[in-house]
Amino acid sequence: MNAELSADLEQFVEAQVRSGRFSTRAEVITAAVTLLRQQDEAEEARVVEGIRQGLEDMRAGRTQPLAEAFADIRRDLNLPARA
C-alpha cells in the first residue's frame, strides 16, 4: 500500500525514524494506524456503554419527559428556548 502524506507529516515520519524510535517509515505508519484503531475502538466502547447505561436507566424508571430533556439540551448548548 502506498500513501501520500502532506509535507509536514512526511517530515514527522522521517524525524521519527531518525530519532531511532522506529526503524522504518512503515513502522511509523503502522504505529499511527494502530493508535487510530485503538482510539476508534475506545470511542465505540464509550458509545456502547452510554447506550447500555441509558437502557438500564429506562428499565429502572430514571427518565424524564421528552420536552424536559430537549429543554435541558437547549440549555446545555446555550440554544434559545423553543417558542
* 29-74 tens-digit pLDDT: 999 999 999 999 999 999 999 999 999 999 999 999 999 999 999 9
Q: At a CB cut-off of 8 Å and minimum separation 6, what does 3 contact?
A: 29
Identify whether 83 is part of a domain: no
d(CA 4, CA 33): 14
Matching residue, cell 503502522: 30
Q: Which backbone phi and psi does 41 adopt, to 5 degrees?
A: -65, -40
**What's residue 1's pLDDT?**
85
* pTM given for the model: 0.71
Identify whether 31 is part of a domain: yes
Identify whether 2 is part of a domain: no
Domain total for the chain?
1
Identify whether 50 is part of a domain: yes
Domain of residue 56: give its range: 7-76
Dihedral sign for Cα atoms in the order 24, 26, 27, 28: positive
